[in-house]
Structure 1
Amino acid sequence: MIKDEDLDILVAVLFEKYGYDFGNYAKASLKRRVNRLMVIDRLPSFAELLYRIKSDASYTNHVVQELTVNVTEMFRDPQLFKTIRDEILPGLATHPFIRIWHAGCSTGEEVYSMAIMLEEANLLHKSLLYATDLNPTVIENIKRGIFPLSQMKQYSENYIAAGGKKDFSDYYTAKYEWAKFHDRFKEKMVVATHNLVSDRSFNEFQIILCRNVLIYFDKILQDKVLTLFDNSLEKLGFLILGSKENLRFSSIASQYTQLAHKEKIWRKMK
């Protein structure tokens, strides 16, 4: 088990040497992930971990990948996606162009889920989906559009529960143990690294999704990131958070109204 002062040193080194800022991540959660990393990599001491980070940039990429949470699936929380399909996408049909930001998107399953729904709503041709994450390794997968074939049964069930009407297998080609989604989806995606802690707004969007990322930040950082989203969202745009996240006590709460009581979707009114 690493000590609090060890964690502070690690955070400082990652920021000063590589620019990764974990300073306002929830300490208990971050400490658990560092301890898990040391077990996985069989590191005998914190000093060994620190040495490898300082001397090996490729190992540091591995560390960042382990410290950032990369748990996702297609059409995760199907009812949320059904609400987007039924209550949000029809209103976007009047827009000449649609921009959607998936912030902290990990390996991109949710980005492809949105692309499929946009196509079914006949909106994909005039849409751009911006897929960003702190971790450069995981977002490379979005450009490939390849996911484990073993996951497709679950994803298909999620898709149907989210209001999908087609055969989910129409959207990908199966080869060996992998499912490759059709290139027309990734052609509508802009993939980039983006640090929610330190990077600025880069466009104006109709929808911003950032699900199950804020729960790992402390209150100060949550407010900072929510302000970034507010600056990036057009009036009457939609902000979609994770199931355990909320705007209720944030600095931007008064400008938003919750779209559906059960779903974590807010609309910007001011």
Structure 2
Amino acid sequence: MVATERGSDELPLAGTDKNELENIEIELLLSGVHRLYGYDFRNYALPSLKRRIWHHVHAENLSSISALQEKVLHDRTCFERFIYSLSIPVTEMFRDPGLFMAFRQKVVPLLRTYPYIRIWHAGCSTGEEVYSMAILLQEEGLYDKARIYATDMNNRSLQQAKEGVYEISKMKQYTKNYLEAGGKHAFSKYYTAKYNSVIFQPDLRKNIIFAEHNLATDTSFNEFNVIFCRNVMIYFNDELRDHVHGLFCESLSRFGVLVLGAKESIHFTRYSDSYEPLDRVEKIYRKVK
């Protein structure tokens, strides 16, 4: 009989240590999730994935990954909680203000030459970055000819993004970010405060399309002038990262712009020769072939 309790002093099988058993349990869990629900986490970076899985094991008051597998495969609501725990959003309005300032200075002039602008925010989480882009484009006089596609695999995060409602306690930091990013007005112009929350103005949402999309399993769905994917691929292994870079390269128009996170880079991928840097520090690249 194979022990499923983590922390048992007994080895389940001769030659199988606890770490190997843990990896087998994770492999079986992710394979089951992929086969039953179509979500593929098998090429996520293992150390981060392992931490998040164990966090959810304890959140469900379970004692092993095998027990989590049984519950996830038989209880749809548990699966939805599990998906949310693997894609915990970490974002804010105008996060990394220097990036948005560089975008105003180096990308906006290029966008002015286009008759129509398509922007994809891949892994948009709860939408703060999307609304930041809408505000920036509105201030630069480009929003009316733009369409923003905001996608994420997490439906709960997408729902919050669609609503555009955030905690009022965060507005002080968001206002600071906005001003450092080159904001041209009072930030409070863009939202209405109500009790402990704020809701962003409806006109910011009029050209935004929110939709589910899984970077690991879904394909390209349009041609874009700009793709934002920041602090998402740090959770992927090399194989999945390369796959996603291929998806982005396929989805970008000639001279389209790719924006990555501070700890990410196009270098050391097989698509690096397809881009030239517009800003090396802020990780803004332009597709040249």
TM-score by length of 1: 0.97
Determine which of 98, 117, 120 is the counterpart of 1:101.
Answer: 120
User: Partners in 2 of 1:45 and 1:221 — Cα distance?
Assistant: 27
2:42 matches 1:29? no
User: Partners in 1 of 2:141 and 2:27 — Cα distance?
Assistant: 49
User: Partners in 2 of 1:29 and 1:64 — Cα distance?
Assistant: 14
User: Secondary structure of the equivalent of 1:259?
Assistant: strand
User: Partners in 2 of 1:114 and 1:186 — Cα distance?
Assistant: 11
Greater Cα radius of gyration, structure 1 or 2: 2
User: Secondary structure of the equivalent of 1:59?
Assistant: helix
List per-residue Cα deviations over 1:148-168 (Å, max 9, x = no partner): 111110000000000002100
Percent identical across equivalent pairs?
A: 46
User: Secondary structure of the equivalent of 1:3?
Assistant: helix
State how many pairs are aligned.
Answer: 270
Could you say which residue in structure 2 is the equivalent of 1:141?
A: 160
List per-residue Cα deviations over 1:90-130 (Å, max 9, x = no partner): 22112111100000110010000000000000111111100
Determine which of 262, 266, 271 is the counterpart of 1:243.
Answer: 262
Could you say which residue in structure 2 is the equivalent of 1:18?
A: 37
Deviation at 1:83, TM superposition (A): 0.5
2:94 matches 1:75? yes
Deviates more, 1:204-213 or 1:134-143: 134-143
Please, which runs of 5 or more residues in structure 2 have no aligned partner?
1-5, 7-20
Alignment of 1:220-231 (within 5 A): 220-231=239-250
RMSD (CA atoms): 1.1
CA contact under 8 A between 1:90 and 1:121: conserved in structure 2?
no
Could you say which residue in structure 1 is the equivalent of 2:22?
A: 3
CA contact under 8 A between 1:142 and 1:186: conserved in structure 2?
no
User: Partners in 2 of 1:227 and 1:249 — Cα distance?
Assistant: 13
User: Partners in 2 of 1:97 and 1:145 — Cα distance?
Assistant: 25
Partner amino acid, structure 2, of 1:161? E
Alignment of 1:31-70 (within 5 A): 31-70=50-89
CA contact under 8 A between 1:107 and 1:138: conserved in structure 2?
yes
Determine which of 254, 267, 270 is the counterpart of 2:286.
Answer: 267
User: Partners in 2 of 1:248 and 1:46 — Cα distance?
Assistant: 36
Please, which runs of 5 or more residues in structure 1 have no aligned partner?
none
